[in-house]
Structure 1
Amino acid sequence: MQFLLDERLGIPLPNPELEFEQLTPAEQEEVIAQWERIKARIPEQILKFEAVIEDKLRQVHEREDWDEIAALFAEISDYASRINELNTWRRVDPLLHPDPVADHASEHRDREKG
């Protein structure tokens, strides 16, 4: 199993070449240790994105052109979405759920149907 940098989120995410169960115990231990190091950096990445949002909100208050304001709010929404995804990755074990964002979305859809 390897981790590849997700440019949008700014952290490496799991990209399994083999199923976790196919790894040796020593390899499994290294994967878990590596993921824990990555997860430890998530709060710092969230703080960076929050700072970007704060900066864009300041820009909104300085603008008068509606198109510029709308573009800034679109960027703010994108960064808020990134923060949400990072929080999901922080809570979920990707070795058990390779795509927690997709799992969360399908769970929400299923709840809405019921």
Structure 2
Amino acid sequence: MVDHFYFDERLGIPVPDLRVEWDEYSKETQQFILLHWEKIRGSIPDRIAELEQEINYKQAKLSDESDFPLSCKLNTEIAELASIINDLWLWYRADQTVSTKVHQ
């Protein structure tokens, strides 16, 4: 199962790493992949909430920051966290149709 996923350091979650076309996997392997992905997918909102807390913390620091270079650094970090959240939502939504196959 681990062969079909890799841990994405930036996103903080495992993501699919399918090396052949979906139909080339056996039905059993497809089922295992889908079930594993559903577990990962279910954790994405929690990961997003963690990142939102980091953003809120950095925004609070930014509102009190008078050092321009540090303000720029905080803004960059906030933008990167927002980008990660966007990518996580894309992963979360990308396979909603696939997730229905798990239950069929």
TM range (shorter): 0.7 to 0.9
Scaled by the length of structure 1, the TM-score of the pair is 0.79
How many angstroms does 1:62 deviate by? 2.1
Say what the alpha-carbon RMSD is for the aligned residues: 1.8
Identity of aligned residues (%): 34
2:55 is equivalent to residue 47 of structure 1: no
Question: 5+ unaligned residues in a row in structure 1: which ranges?
Answer: 97-114
**Pairs within 5 Å for 1:53-92:** 53-92=55-94
Match of 1:11 among 3, 13, 17: 13
SS in 1 for 2:59: helix
Gaps of 5+ in 2: 99-104
- What corresponds to 1:111 in structure 2? none
Q: TM-score, normalised by structure 2?
A: 0.86
Runs of 4+ in 1 over 4 A off after TM superposition: none
Q: Which has the higher contact order (CA 8 A, sep 6+)?
A: 2
Matched residue pairs, number? 96
